[in-house]
Amino acid sequence: MKTPQKSGFTLIEMIGVLAIIGILAAVVAPRVIESIRDAKVTSAIGSVNSAKSAALSYYQRYDRFPEDGTLATIIDYRTDPAGATTVSGAGADFGDLLVLQEQLLEAERTPIGEDINGKDWAVGCATIAGGGVLDAGGGTASGYGTAPFVFKSAGRASRIVYFMMPNLTTQEAAALGTKVNGPFPNTVQGDLNVIGESLAAGGTPLTNIDGANAWFIDNGDSTYDAFLYVAHQ
């Protein structure tokens, strides 16, 4: 009578299976991470589009975009539709006003970026002295030095609404630049080169590409502040 033998994997077979799993993980994991980052960047662009819709709705109501720094008092239409209740906001920006007005803008925030070093998300409105040139920070150079740039869609606007996203990683900034300013020529390869095509620096608007609707400020620590076009008048 034969003794039944137990079937199973040999040590060599187990090593082979583990090696295959390791190879698949090494190939798939970066693509999964890239897909997650791409989804976040797409969502961030959706936030910019929401800000654009909110700004245009505001413009249809009041026929103007209020400049940052002129919003010492903001009416909170959510708590008092009649506008009797006010919210103090000496440092408020145009986005705060859009958020406080019901059904205009849900929040000034995106899935990419980080609110560190005193910088936070903002939807700002700046009056332009001439030529459509916007200084980083909404018409002032506060916190950035002088870093002017021109939004492609704004032309020679007198007032520009923009969306600022702080402290993006190199990969986030490159992905955002590609989606908003691309496609780029084949000579532009790599994240840093993509960012460099719309990097505001040296006090002079760069002309590497035919205008840009997303500009970046290099923070010097491998992070970038992004400024995206929303609307203009």
Q: Percent of the chain scored above 90 by pLDDT?
A: 18
* 90 in any annotated domain: no
pLDDT tens sequence across 102-135: 678 888 889 999 988 778 888 888 877 555 566 5
The per-residue pLDDT for 175 is 93
DSSP 8-state assignment for residue 2: P
* 22 in any annotated domain: no
Residue 68: pLDDT band (50, 70, 90) is: confident
The per-residue pLDDT for 206 is 46
* 151 in any annotated domain: yes
Question: Is the sign of the CA dihedral 159, 229, 149, 120 positive or negative?
Answer: positive
* 77 in any annotated domain: no
Task: Say how many Å lie between the first and final Cα of the chain, rounded.
Answer: 95
Stronger pLDDT, 150 or 164, i.e. the higher one? 164
The per-residue pLDDT for 79 is 53
pLDDT tens sequence across 127-156: 775 555 665 444 443 344 445 677 888 877
Q: Which domain holds residue 166?
A: 33-62+105-232
Q: What is the pTM of this model?
A: 0.76
* 26 in any annotated domain: no
pLDDT tens sequence across 213-230: 998 888 888 899 999 999
